[in-house]
């Protein structure tokens, strides 16, 4: 398994996006999540990414019960979690990076995970009315207290990263990055490389579009997130499935699953890129591992990007109400 560096720690280039350990994309159970974690341990996948809001803490709890059931596992895995997304009295999303809130949420995460520290703690979204230097300082003090080993930010602009890094080293920036979401190439991937910050790519297989088995329409229509997401609403969804047919054919020609080729492409975009796909099945997880272990030539990369050029995808990556928190940049 290829490795990358996050905040001074060596981790597997492929990680686990543990939002899949909740029911966000479909029903799952603790046994299935534990099976994925078992397989990850077998093949050398060491980075696990979760959040306090995934299933209202369920994802962290599932990871915690797995750690408790597997002696020595905590010493072999690199755990990242996040906080900063909250809601007001009316149920509307709000971003809270206040020091007391962030520490209290991390303390609750540590209890669910059953550990005294995490290896990486992110501000899940940046609070716009707080200077990023101040938020970095807040997170840095949690490092000083021993509650986390490194700090990160999710969905921030390159300029925000520079300001935060002036206060405290930033181990990782998490952002959606895949063949269908290329925005990080507008400065974020470059700034991360310059500052020694890992770019942690979530949704690297496009919420299933970049796989051999995209989520079917019947499930999309009953999913609160996907049913209003512009890439999954009609007619965009039909356009996107048609556009992906040549990419699936190329993957098959190369002896790979579509998901494996998508993962391989992402990891070849930089030695500081870490990919964190989520899955509920060991079979799909093995496809992702195969992608991480695939070497692509410059000719392979050019062929992929000829089939799926920048901006091929129909529809924005979020609906208007889903844009509360992520920073746009150009």
Active site residues: 54
Region class of 194: left (phi > 0), else alpha (psi between -120 and 50), else beta: alpha
Measured between alpha carbons, how far is residue 50 from residues 22, 146, 250, 291 in Å? 10, 19, 32, 22
One DSSP character per residue, 192-254 reads HHHHT-EEEEESTTGGGTTSSSPPPHHHHHH-TTGGG-TTTSTTHHHHHHHHHHHHHHHHHHT
Radius of gyration of the chain (CA): 19
> Are the CB atoms for 290 and 13 separated by under 8 Å?
no
What are 159's two structure tokens?
């300029």
Measured between alpha carbons, how far is residue 291 from residues 240, 262, 272, 277 in Å? 22, 7, 17, 11
In the chain, which residue ranges form alpha helices assigned H by DSSP? 30-43, 58-69, 99-113, 132-144, 158-165, 188-195, 217-222, 236-253, 258-267, 282-292, 298-307
Neighbour count for residue 215 (Cβ, 10 Å) = 17
């Amino acid at each position: 398994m290829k490795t990358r560096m996050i905040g001074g720690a060596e981790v597997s280039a492929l990680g686990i996006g543990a939002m899949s350990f909740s029911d966000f994309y479909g029903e799952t159970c603790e046994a299935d999540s534990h099976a994925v974690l078992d397989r990850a341990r077998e093949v050398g996948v060491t980075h696990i990414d979760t959040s306090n809001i995934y299933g209202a803490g369920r994802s962290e709890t599932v990871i915690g019960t797995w750690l408790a059931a597997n002696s020595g596992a905590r010493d072999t895995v690199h755990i990242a979690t996040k906080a900063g997304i909250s809601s007001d009295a009316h149920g509307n999303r709000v971003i809270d990076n206040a020091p007391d809130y962030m520490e209290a949420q991390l303390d609750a995460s540590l209890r669910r995970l059953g550990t005294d520290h995490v290896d990486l703690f992110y501000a899940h979204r940046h609070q716009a009315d707080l200077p990023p230097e101040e938020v970095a300082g807040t997170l840095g003090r949690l490092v000083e207290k021993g509650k986390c080993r490194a700090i990160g930010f999710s969905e921030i602009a390159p300029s925000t990263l520079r300001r935060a890094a002036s206060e405290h080293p930033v181990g990782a920036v998490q952002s959606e990055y895949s063949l269908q979401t290329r925005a990080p190439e507008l400065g974020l991937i470059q700034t991360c490389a310059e500052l020694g910050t890992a770019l942690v790519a979530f949704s690297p297989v496009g919420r299933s579009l970049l796989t051999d088995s995209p989520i079917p329409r019947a499930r999309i229509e009953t999913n609160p997130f996907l049913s209003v997401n512009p890439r999954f609403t009609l007619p965009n969804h039909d356009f996107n499935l048609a556009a992906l047919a040549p990419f699936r054919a190329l993957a098959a020609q190369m002896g790979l699953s579509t998901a494996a080729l998508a993962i391989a492409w992402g990891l070849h975009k930089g030695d500081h890129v870490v990919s964190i796909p989520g899955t509920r099945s060991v079979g799909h997880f093995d496809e992702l591992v195969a992608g991480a272990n695939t070497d692509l030539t410059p000719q392979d990369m050019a062929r992929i990007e000829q089939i799926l050029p920048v901006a091929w995808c129909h529809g924005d990556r979020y609906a208007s109400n889903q844009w509360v928190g992520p920073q746009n940049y150009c």
